Amino acid sequence: MTQEPVISGFHALSDPIRIQILELLQNEELCVSDMCQKLGIAQSRISFHLKALKIAALVSVRQQGRWMYYSLNKEQFGHLEAYLSGY
């Protein structure tokens, strides 16, 4: 595994709001408006953090109609876990 996915993954995990988003996505797929409601955070802030999570490949996106639904990309979490297991 190259270092770039590891670096971007851990960078994305370094923000408390991103951790909250990931915790929400542990149980279900959600759209941005659902996350806004559950976290009490503005749509623009959620979108900003989702962009970082997408760049790090920690979330997957699925479009249904005009809505975008986000879920965890468990494969990427597996790569990060495998990286850490070497320590």
Query: Quick one: what percent of the chain has pLDDT higher than 90?
Result: 86
What DSSP character marks residue 56? T
CATH for 3-77 is: 1.10.10.10
0.85 surpassed by pTM: yes
Q: What's the longest Cα–Cα distance across the chain?
A: 44
DSSP assignment of the chain: --HHHHHHHHHHTTSHHHHHHHHHHTT--EEHHHHHHHHT--HHHHHHHHHHHHHTT-EEEEEETTEEEEEE-HHHHHHHHHHHTT-
**Tens-place pLDDT, residues 42-65:** 999 999 999 999 999 999 999 999
Which pLDDT value is given to residue 5? 83
